[in-house]
Structure 1
Amino acid sequence: MKAVIIEDEPLIAKELVNKIAAVAADVEVIETLPSLKTARKWFMQNAEPDLLFMDIQLSDGVSFELFENFKLDCPVVFTTAYDDYAIRAFKVNGVDYLLKPVDEGELQKAIDKCRSLLSNKTSFPADMQQLMASLAVPRQNLFKEKFIVNQRNNWIPVDTKDIACFVRDNLNYLYTFNGEKYILDYTTLEDIEELLDPKVFYRANRQSIIHINAIQSVKPHENQKLSVFLKSPLKMEFDISREKAPSFKKWFDR
Protein backbone atom coordinates (compact mmCIF):
# COMPACT_ATOMS: atom_id res chain seq x y z
CA MET A 1 0.00 0.00 0.00
CA LYS A 2 1.18 3.50 -0.80
CA ALA A 3 0.61 6.13 1.88
CA VAL A 4 0.90 9.91 2.19
CA ILE A 5 1.41 11.80 5.45
CA ILE A 6 0.18 15.38 5.98
CA GLU A 7 1.96 16.74 9.05
CA ASP A 8 3.51 20.17 9.68
CA GLU A 9 5.94 19.02 12.40
CA PRO A 10 8.99 17.44 10.67
CA LEU A 11 10.08 15.39 13.69
CA ILE A 12 6.57 14.01 14.23
CA ALA A 13 6.30 13.19 10.52
CA LYS A 14 9.64 11.36 10.59
CA GLU A 15 8.64 9.46 13.72
CA LEU A 16 5.36 8.41 12.08
CA VAL A 17 7.22 7.17 9.00
CA ASN A 18 9.44 5.02 11.23
CA LYS A 19 6.50 3.65 13.21
CA ILE A 20 4.61 2.75 10.04
CA ALA A 21 7.66 0.90 8.75
CA ALA A 22 7.89 -0.96 12.07
CA VAL A 23 4.28 -2.17 12.18
CA ALA A 24 3.36 -2.50 8.47
CA ALA A 25 6.11 -3.56 6.07
CA ASP A 26 3.69 -3.48 3.14
CA VAL A 27 2.96 0.25 3.59
CA GLU A 28 5.27 2.56 1.65
CA VAL A 29 5.19 6.26 2.57
CA ILE A 30 5.63 7.96 -0.80
CA GLU A 31 5.31 11.57 0.39
CA THR A 32 5.18 13.72 3.52
CA LEU A 33 3.42 17.05 3.05
CA PRO A 34 3.96 19.88 5.58
CA SER A 35 1.01 22.15 4.84
CA LEU A 36 -2.38 22.55 3.17
CA LYS A 37 -0.76 24.49 0.34
CA THR A 38 1.70 21.72 -0.51
CA ALA A 39 -1.02 19.09 -0.07
CA ARG A 40 -3.31 20.87 -2.55
CA LYS A 41 -0.50 21.06 -5.10
CA TRP A 42 0.38 17.40 -4.59
CA PHE A 43 -3.18 16.15 -5.04
CA MET A 44 -3.61 18.30 -8.14
CA GLN A 45 -0.66 16.52 -9.74
CA ASN A 46 -0.93 12.98 -8.38
CA ALA A 47 -3.48 10.23 -7.97
CA GLU A 48 -4.70 9.67 -4.42
CA PRO A 49 -2.72 7.12 -2.38
CA ASP A 50 -4.11 3.91 -0.89
CA LEU A 51 -3.94 5.37 2.60
CA LEU A 52 -3.73 8.88 4.05
CA PHE A 53 -2.44 10.00 7.45
CA MET A 54 -3.56 13.54 8.32
CA ASP A 55 -2.84 15.88 11.17
CA ILE A 56 -5.88 18.08 11.76
CA GLN A 57 -4.53 21.48 12.77
CA LEU A 58 -1.85 22.57 10.29
CA SER A 59 0.15 25.78 10.20
CA ASP A 60 -1.96 27.20 7.36
CA GLY A 61 -5.40 25.82 8.18
CA VAL A 62 -7.42 22.71 9.02
CA SER A 63 -6.78 19.53 7.04
CA PHE A 64 -10.54 19.00 6.58
CA GLU A 65 -10.36 21.76 3.97
CA LEU A 66 -8.76 19.31 1.54
CA PHE A 67 -12.11 17.56 1.24
CA GLU A 68 -13.59 20.79 -0.10
CA ASN A 69 -11.13 20.66 -3.00
CA PHE A 70 -10.82 16.93 -3.68
CA LYS A 71 -13.06 13.89 -3.57
CA LEU A 72 -10.88 11.42 -1.68
CA ASP A 73 -12.04 7.82 -1.47
CA CYS A 74 -9.00 6.38 0.30
CA PRO A 75 -9.13 5.51 4.01
CA VAL A 76 -7.92 8.31 6.28
CA VAL A 77 -6.23 8.02 9.67
CA PHE A 78 -6.27 11.28 11.62
CA THR A 79 -3.40 11.98 14.02
CA THR A 80 -4.15 14.72 16.51
CA ALA A 81 -4.12 16.06 20.05
CA TYR A 82 -7.88 16.76 20.06
CA ASP A 83 -10.11 15.84 23.02
CA ASP A 84 -11.67 12.40 23.51
CA TYR A 85 -15.16 13.47 22.40
CA ALA A 86 -13.89 14.09 18.88
CA ILE A 87 -11.95 10.85 18.89
CA ARG A 88 -15.06 8.86 19.75
CA ALA A 89 -16.99 10.68 17.03
CA PHE A 90 -14.51 9.63 14.38
CA LYS A 91 -14.43 5.93 15.28
CA VAL A 92 -16.69 5.19 12.32
CA ASN A 93 -16.49 2.76 9.38
CA GLY A 94 -12.79 2.01 9.61
CA VAL A 95 -11.58 5.62 9.52
CA ASP A 96 -9.47 5.96 12.64
CA TYR A 97 -8.28 8.71 14.92
CA LEU A 98 -4.99 8.49 16.86
CA LEU A 99 -3.70 10.64 19.69
CA LYS A 100 -0.17 12.00 19.54
CA PRO A 101 2.28 10.61 20.34
CA VAL A 102 1.01 7.73 18.23
CA ASP A 103 1.05 4.33 19.91
CA GLU A 104 2.43 1.60 17.65
CA GLY A 105 -0.23 -0.89 18.70
CA GLU A 106 -3.05 1.56 17.90
CA LEU A 107 -1.31 2.46 14.65
CA GLN A 108 -1.16 -1.17 13.60
CA LYS A 109 -4.86 -1.64 14.35
CA ALA A 110 -5.71 1.47 12.32
CA ILE A 111 -3.67 0.25 9.34
CA ASP A 112 -5.28 -3.21 9.57
CA LYS A 113 -8.69 -1.55 9.53
CA CYS A 114 -7.77 0.49 6.47
CA ARG A 115 -6.32 -2.59 4.79
CA SER A 116 -9.66 -4.32 5.30
CA LEU A 117 -11.49 -1.37 3.77
CA LEU A 118 -9.25 -1.47 0.72
CA SER A 119 -9.65 -5.22 0.23
CA ASN A 120 -13.44 -4.78 0.35
CA LYS A 121 -13.22 -1.72 -1.90
CA THR A 122 -15.32 0.28 0.53
CA SER A 123 -15.59 3.97 -0.36
CA PHE A 124 -15.16 6.86 2.05
CA PRO A 125 -18.39 7.01 4.11
CA ALA A 126 -20.84 9.86 3.50
CA ASP A 127 -21.54 10.29 7.21
CA MET A 128 -17.84 10.89 7.78
CA GLN A 129 -17.89 13.63 5.15
CA GLN A 130 -20.77 15.27 7.00
CA LEU A 131 -19.03 14.87 10.36
CA MET A 132 -15.87 16.51 9.07
CA ALA A 133 -17.90 19.37 7.67
CA SER A 134 -19.59 19.93 11.02
CA LEU A 135 -16.29 19.92 12.94
CA ALA A 136 -14.29 21.98 10.45
CA VAL A 137 -13.43 25.48 11.63
CA PRO A 138 -14.87 28.24 9.39
CA ARG A 139 -12.02 29.76 7.45
CA GLN A 140 -11.33 33.14 6.01
CA ASN A 141 -11.04 33.52 2.26
CA LEU A 142 -7.46 32.43 1.58
CA PHE A 143 -7.53 33.23 -2.13
CA LYS A 144 -6.97 36.48 -3.96
CA GLU A 145 -10.20 38.22 -4.99
CA LYS A 146 -8.70 40.64 -7.50
CA PHE A 147 -5.45 41.52 -9.23
CA ILE A 148 -4.22 45.07 -9.80
CA VAL A 149 -2.84 45.71 -13.29
CA ASN A 150 -1.20 48.80 -14.74
CA GLN A 151 -2.89 50.37 -17.76
CA ARG A 152 -1.65 53.70 -19.12
CA ASN A 153 -0.12 54.56 -15.74
CA ASN A 154 -3.41 53.80 -13.96
CA TRP A 155 -4.07 50.95 -11.57
CA ILE A 156 -6.98 48.84 -12.78
CA PRO A 157 -8.58 46.12 -10.61
CA VAL A 158 -9.46 42.85 -12.33
CA ASP A 159 -11.70 40.47 -10.38
CA THR A 160 -10.21 36.99 -10.16
CA LYS A 161 -13.57 35.48 -11.18
CA ASP A 162 -13.24 37.34 -14.51
CA ILE A 163 -9.82 35.86 -15.34
CA ALA A 164 -9.78 33.05 -17.92
CA CYS A 165 -6.08 32.22 -17.72
CA PHE A 166 -2.59 33.28 -16.75
CA VAL A 167 0.23 32.85 -19.27
CA ARG A 168 4.00 33.10 -18.94
CA ASP A 169 5.70 34.50 -22.05
CA ASN A 170 8.86 36.26 -20.85
CA LEU A 171 6.46 38.27 -18.66
CA ASN A 172 3.36 37.07 -16.81
CA TYR A 173 0.02 37.99 -18.39
CA LEU A 174 -3.59 37.54 -17.41
CA TYR A 175 -6.42 37.17 -19.94
CA THR A 176 -10.00 37.94 -19.05
CA PHE A 177 -13.00 36.01 -20.35
CA ASN A 178 -13.78 38.85 -22.76
CA GLY A 179 -10.29 38.70 -24.30
CA GLU A 180 -8.50 41.55 -22.52
CA LYS A 181 -4.78 41.06 -21.85
CA TYR A 182 -2.79 42.64 -19.00
CA ILE A 183 0.79 42.38 -17.75
CA LEU A 184 1.10 41.21 -14.15
CA ASP A 185 3.76 42.41 -11.76
CA TYR A 186 4.61 38.93 -10.44
CA THR A 187 7.96 37.21 -10.85
CA THR A 188 6.72 33.65 -11.45
CA LEU A 189 3.55 31.71 -12.16
CA GLU A 190 4.23 29.84 -8.92
CA ASP A 191 3.68 33.10 -7.02
CA ILE A 192 0.35 33.55 -8.80
CA GLU A 193 -0.71 29.94 -8.36
CA GLU A 194 -0.43 30.19 -4.57
CA LEU A 195 -3.06 32.96 -4.60
CA LEU A 196 -5.68 31.01 -6.59
CA ASP A 197 -8.45 28.62 -5.60
CA PRO A 198 -7.39 25.18 -6.92
CA LYS A 199 -11.04 24.22 -7.34
CA VAL A 200 -11.38 26.63 -10.27
CA PHE A 201 -7.80 27.22 -11.48
CA TYR A 202 -5.51 24.48 -12.80
CA ARG A 203 -1.77 24.67 -13.52
CA ALA A 204 -1.79 23.16 -17.01
CA ASN A 205 1.97 23.39 -17.60
CA ARG A 206 4.96 25.60 -16.86
CA GLN A 207 3.54 28.41 -18.99
CA SER A 208 -0.14 28.52 -18.06
CA ILE A 209 -2.87 28.41 -15.41
CA ILE A 210 -6.46 28.05 -16.65
CA HIS A 211 -9.93 28.71 -15.22
CA ILE A 212 -12.32 25.78 -15.40
CA ASN A 213 -15.08 27.92 -16.93
CA ALA A 214 -12.78 29.08 -19.73
CA ILE A 215 -12.46 25.59 -21.21
CA GLN A 216 -14.30 24.96 -24.47
CA SER A 217 -13.14 21.39 -25.06
CA VAL A 218 -10.39 18.87 -24.35
CA LYS A 219 -8.83 16.60 -26.95
CA PRO A 220 -7.01 13.42 -25.83
CA HIS A 221 -4.13 12.11 -27.95
CA GLU A 222 -2.79 8.62 -28.54
CA ASN A 223 0.27 9.38 -26.43
CA GLN A 224 -2.13 10.15 -23.52
CA LYS A 225 -1.35 13.87 -23.62
CA LEU A 226 -4.23 16.36 -23.72
CA SER A 227 -4.93 19.54 -25.65
CA VAL A 228 -7.17 22.05 -23.88
CA PHE A 229 -9.01 24.64 -25.98
CA LEU A 230 -10.38 27.83 -24.44
CA LYS A 231 -13.65 29.49 -25.36
CA SER A 232 -14.03 32.42 -27.74
CA PRO A 233 -12.84 35.15 -27.94
CA LEU A 234 -9.58 33.69 -26.58
CA LYS A 235 -9.47 30.50 -28.68
CA MET A 236 -6.19 29.54 -27.04
CA GLU A 237 -4.73 26.02 -26.85
CA PHE A 238 -2.71 24.53 -23.99
CA ASP A 239 -0.97 21.16 -23.73
CA ILE A 240 -1.17 18.91 -20.69
CA SER A 241 1.44 16.19 -20.27
CA ARG A 242 0.71 12.50 -20.00
CA GLU A 243 1.78 12.60 -16.34
CA LYS A 244 -0.65 15.38 -15.45
CA ALA A 245 -3.55 14.11 -17.57
CA PRO A 246 -5.11 11.92 -14.80
CA SER A 247 -5.12 14.74 -12.24
CA PHE A 248 -6.55 17.17 -14.81
CA LYS A 249 -9.37 14.75 -15.66
CA LYS A 250 -10.16 14.35 -11.94
CA TRP A 251 -10.20 18.14 -11.51
CA PHE A 252 -12.26 18.80 -14.64
CA ASP A 253 -14.77 15.96 -14.20
CA ARG A 254 -16.59 16.90 -11.02
Structure 2
Amino acid sequence: MKAFPEIHIAGEAVNAREARERIQTLQPDLVFLDIQMPEETGFELLDSLGDKFPRIIFTTAYDAFALRAFEFGAVDYLLKPIAPKRLAIALQRACATDGRLEPAEDLEATDLPTRPLGLQDKVLLGSSDRIAYVPVGSIIAAESVGAYSKVWFEDSALVIRRSLSVLEARLPTEFFMRANRSQLINLQQVQSVEPWFSGGMKLKLSGDLTVELSRRQAKVFRERNTL
Protein backbone atom coordinates (compact mmCIF):
# COMPACT_ATOMS: atom_id res chain seq x y z
CA MET A 1 0.00 0.00 0.00
CA LYS A 2 1.62 3.25 -1.15
CA ALA A 3 0.25 5.34 1.70
CA PHE A 4 1.27 2.70 4.27
CA PRO A 5 4.59 1.16 3.15
CA GLU A 6 4.77 -0.98 6.29
CA ILE A 7 1.68 -2.89 5.10
CA HIS A 8 2.16 -5.68 2.55
CA ILE A 9 -0.93 -7.11 0.84
CA ALA A 10 -0.56 -10.89 1.02
CA GLY A 11 -3.73 -11.77 -0.90
CA GLU A 12 -7.35 -11.06 -1.72
CA ALA A 13 -10.57 -13.08 -1.80
CA VAL A 14 -13.96 -12.56 -3.41
CA ASN A 15 -16.01 -14.72 -1.03
CA ALA A 16 -15.83 -16.46 2.34
CA ARG A 17 -14.60 -19.78 0.92
CA GLU A 18 -11.61 -18.14 -0.76
CA ALA A 19 -10.97 -16.00 2.30
CA ARG A 20 -10.87 -19.08 4.54
CA GLU A 21 -8.38 -20.82 2.25
CA ARG A 22 -6.11 -17.79 2.01
CA ILE A 23 -6.21 -17.11 5.75
CA GLN A 24 -5.25 -20.73 6.48
CA THR A 25 -2.54 -20.80 3.80
CA LEU A 26 -1.03 -17.31 4.08
CA GLN A 27 -1.42 -16.83 7.86
CA PRO A 28 -1.75 -13.04 7.55
CA ASP A 29 -1.28 -10.73 10.53
CA LEU A 30 -4.31 -8.63 9.59
CA VAL A 31 -7.46 -9.15 7.53
CA PHE A 32 -9.83 -6.51 6.20
CA LEU A 33 -13.09 -8.43 6.31
CA ASP A 34 -16.43 -7.45 4.81
CA ILE A 35 -19.44 -8.59 6.82
CA GLN A 36 -21.81 -9.22 3.91
CA MET A 37 -20.23 -11.59 1.40
CA PRO A 38 -21.50 -14.22 -1.04
CA GLU A 39 -22.40 -17.57 0.57
CA GLU A 40 -21.35 -16.66 4.13
CA THR A 41 -21.09 -13.57 6.29
CA GLY A 42 -17.82 -12.40 7.77
CA PHE A 43 -19.08 -13.51 11.18
CA GLU A 44 -19.77 -17.04 9.90
CA LEU A 45 -16.30 -17.15 8.39
CA LEU A 46 -14.69 -16.28 11.72
CA ASP A 47 -16.86 -18.82 13.54
CA SER A 48 -15.56 -21.50 11.16
CA LEU A 49 -11.95 -20.63 12.02
CA GLY A 50 -12.44 -21.37 15.71
CA ASP A 51 -10.38 -19.39 18.23
CA LYS A 52 -7.39 -18.93 15.94
CA PHE A 53 -7.78 -16.13 13.45
CA PRO A 54 -5.71 -13.01 12.67
CA ARG A 55 -6.45 -9.49 13.73
CA ILE A 56 -9.58 -8.29 12.01
CA ILE A 57 -10.67 -4.89 10.73
CA PHE A 58 -14.29 -5.17 9.63
CA THR A 59 -15.37 -3.14 6.61
CA THR A 60 -19.04 -2.65 5.80
CA ALA A 61 -21.55 -0.17 4.44
CA TYR A 62 -23.87 -0.74 7.41
CA ASP A 63 -23.51 0.33 11.04
CA ALA A 64 -25.99 -2.22 12.44
CA PHE A 65 -23.28 -4.88 12.89
CA ALA A 66 -20.83 -2.76 14.90
CA LEU A 67 -21.56 -4.11 18.36
CA ARG A 68 -21.34 -7.73 17.23
CA ALA A 69 -18.11 -7.01 15.37
CA PHE A 70 -16.40 -5.98 18.57
CA GLU A 71 -17.63 -9.14 20.29
CA PHE A 72 -15.16 -10.89 17.97
CA GLY A 73 -12.35 -8.71 19.32
CA ALA A 74 -12.08 -6.67 16.14
CA VAL A 75 -9.26 -4.16 15.97
CA ASP A 76 -11.61 -1.67 14.32
CA TYR A 77 -14.80 -1.30 12.30
CA LEU A 78 -14.72 0.84 9.16
CA LEU A 79 -17.84 2.16 7.49
CA LYS A 80 -17.83 2.51 3.70
CA PRO A 81 -16.90 4.73 2.02
CA ILE A 82 -13.74 4.50 4.09
CA ALA A 83 -12.14 7.84 4.89
CA PRO A 84 -8.32 7.88 4.67
CA LYS A 85 -8.02 9.34 8.16
CA ARG A 86 -10.13 6.55 9.64
CA LEU A 87 -8.08 3.96 7.77
CA ALA A 88 -4.93 5.47 9.28
CA ILE A 89 -6.41 5.16 12.78
CA ALA A 90 -7.39 1.54 12.14
CA LEU A 91 -3.90 0.63 10.91
CA GLN A 92 -2.34 2.40 13.87
CA ARG A 93 -4.44 0.19 16.14
CA ALA A 94 -3.57 -2.94 14.19
CA CYS A 95 0.15 -2.21 14.42
CA ALA A 96 0.02 -1.79 18.20
CA THR A 97 1.74 -4.46 20.25
CA ASP A 98 -1.43 -6.30 21.27
CA GLY A 99 -3.56 -5.28 18.31
CA ARG A 100 -6.01 -3.34 20.44
CA LEU A 101 -5.85 0.21 21.74
CA GLU A 102 -8.18 2.31 23.80
CA PRO A 103 -10.65 4.15 21.54
CA ALA A 104 -8.56 6.76 19.75
CA GLU A 105 -9.60 10.33 19.25
CA ASP A 106 -10.89 10.91 15.74
CA LEU A 107 -8.22 12.59 13.65
CA GLU A 108 -10.95 14.77 12.16
CA ALA A 109 -11.97 15.84 15.67
CA THR A 110 -9.44 18.66 15.41
CA ASP A 111 -11.80 20.21 12.85
CA LEU A 112 -14.74 20.25 15.25
CA PRO A 113 -16.10 23.53 16.66
CA THR A 114 -14.90 24.20 20.20
CA ARG A 115 -18.10 25.94 21.36
CA PRO A 116 -19.89 23.84 24.01
CA LEU A 117 -23.29 22.59 22.88
CA GLY A 118 -26.53 23.38 24.67
CA LEU A 119 -29.58 21.18 25.06
CA GLN A 120 -31.51 23.15 22.45
CA ASP A 121 -28.75 23.03 19.85
CA LYS A 122 -29.35 20.63 16.97
CA VAL A 123 -26.65 18.28 15.74
CA LEU A 124 -26.11 16.02 12.75
CA LEU A 125 -25.76 12.34 13.55
CA GLY A 126 -24.69 10.48 10.44
CA SER A 127 -23.92 6.92 9.37
CA SER A 128 -23.17 5.58 5.90
CA ASP A 129 -26.81 5.34 4.87
CA ARG A 130 -28.70 7.62 7.23
CA ILE A 131 -28.50 11.10 8.73
CA ALA A 132 -30.52 12.48 11.64
CA TYR A 133 -30.71 16.12 12.72
CA VAL A 134 -31.77 16.17 16.36
CA PRO A 135 -31.69 18.45 19.42
CA VAL A 136 -28.90 17.65 21.86
CA GLY A 137 -31.51 17.23 24.58
CA SER A 138 -33.11 14.34 22.70
CA ILE A 139 -29.92 12.27 22.94
CA ILE A 140 -30.60 9.60 25.55
CA ALA A 141 -27.21 7.91 25.80
CA ALA A 142 -24.10 6.95 23.87
CA GLU A 143 -21.96 3.82 24.03
CA SER A 144 -18.41 3.26 22.87
CA VAL A 145 -18.04 0.95 19.87
CA GLY A 146 -14.28 1.00 19.37
CA ALA A 147 -13.43 4.27 17.63
CA TYR A 148 -17.14 4.85 16.96
CA SER A 149 -20.10 5.55 19.22
CA LYS A 150 -23.65 4.25 19.17
CA VAL A 151 -26.02 7.11 19.98
CA TRP A 152 -29.60 6.56 21.15
CA PHE A 153 -32.20 9.27 20.61
CA GLU A 154 -36.00 9.17 20.70
CA ASP A 155 -36.95 5.75 19.23
CA SER A 156 -33.83 5.16 17.21
CA ALA A 157 -30.05 4.76 17.32
CA LEU A 158 -27.09 5.36 15.01
CA VAL A 159 -23.45 4.36 15.05
CA ILE A 160 -21.44 7.48 14.24
CA ARG A 161 -17.79 8.15 13.42
CA ARG A 162 -16.93 9.79 16.71
CA SER A 163 -15.29 8.27 19.78
CA LEU A 164 -17.08 8.55 23.11
CA SER A 165 -14.45 10.95 24.45
CA VAL A 166 -15.12 13.32 21.55
CA LEU A 167 -18.85 13.26 22.32
CA GLU A 168 -18.16 13.84 26.00
CA ALA A 169 -16.07 16.91 25.16
CA ARG A 170 -18.81 18.41 22.98
CA LEU A 171 -21.97 17.65 24.97
CA PRO A 172 -22.96 19.96 27.87
CA THR A 173 -21.31 18.63 31.03
CA GLU A 174 -24.09 19.91 33.29
CA PHE A 175 -26.51 17.45 31.67
CA PHE A 176 -24.32 14.57 30.47
CA MET A 177 -22.10 12.30 32.57
CA ARG A 178 -20.11 9.09 32.19
CA ALA A 179 -22.14 6.21 33.57
CA ASN A 180 -19.13 3.92 33.24
CA ARG A 181 -16.06 3.44 31.08
CA SER A 182 -18.05 2.83 27.90
CA GLN A 183 -21.34 4.73 28.32
CA LEU A 184 -22.40 8.37 28.46
CA ILE A 185 -25.90 9.33 29.61
CA ASN A 186 -28.19 12.36 29.50
CA LEU A 187 -29.31 13.04 33.09
CA GLN A 188 -32.50 14.62 31.76
CA GLN A 189 -33.45 11.25 30.26
CA VAL A 190 -33.22 9.27 33.53
CA GLN A 191 -36.66 7.85 34.40
CA SER A 192 -35.95 5.86 37.56
CA VAL A 193 -33.11 4.83 39.88
CA GLU A 194 -32.63 1.72 42.01
CA PRO A 195 -29.83 0.37 44.22
CA TRP A 196 -27.52 -2.13 42.52
CA PHE A 197 -24.69 -4.46 43.46
CA SER A 198 -21.77 -3.31 45.64
CA GLY A 199 -23.10 0.18 46.23
CA GLY A 200 -23.82 0.87 42.58
CA MET A 201 -27.01 2.00 40.88
CA LYS A 202 -29.20 0.88 38.03
CA LEU A 203 -30.76 3.66 35.97
CA LYS A 204 -33.70 3.30 33.63
CA LEU A 205 -33.59 5.80 30.78
CA SER A 206 -36.07 6.85 28.14
CA GLY A 207 -36.58 4.30 25.40
CA ASP A 208 -36.35 1.38 27.86
CA LEU A 209 -32.58 1.68 28.09
CA THR A 210 -30.91 0.56 31.33
CA VAL A 211 -27.45 1.54 32.51
CA GLU A 212 -25.47 0.31 35.50
CA LEU A 213 -23.35 2.70 37.55
CA SER A 214 -20.35 1.49 39.50
CA ARG A 215 -20.05 2.52 43.15
CA ARG A 216 -17.73 5.35 42.12
CA GLN A 217 -20.05 6.71 39.44
CA ALA A 218 -23.09 6.21 41.68
CA LYS A 219 -21.36 8.52 44.19
CA VAL A 220 -20.88 11.11 41.43
CA PHE A 221 -24.52 10.74 40.42
CA ARG A 222 -25.69 11.30 44.03
CA GLU A 223 -23.45 14.36 44.43
CA ARG A 224 -24.82 15.88 41.23
CA ASN A 225 -28.48 15.18 41.90
CA THR A 226 -29.09 15.22 45.66
CA LEU A 227 -30.79 18.21 47.31
- Taking structure 1 as the reference length, the TM-score comes to 0.39
- Taking structure 2 as the reference length, the TM-score comes to 0.44
* Structure number with bigger Rg: 1
More RCO (CA 8 Å, sep 6+): 1
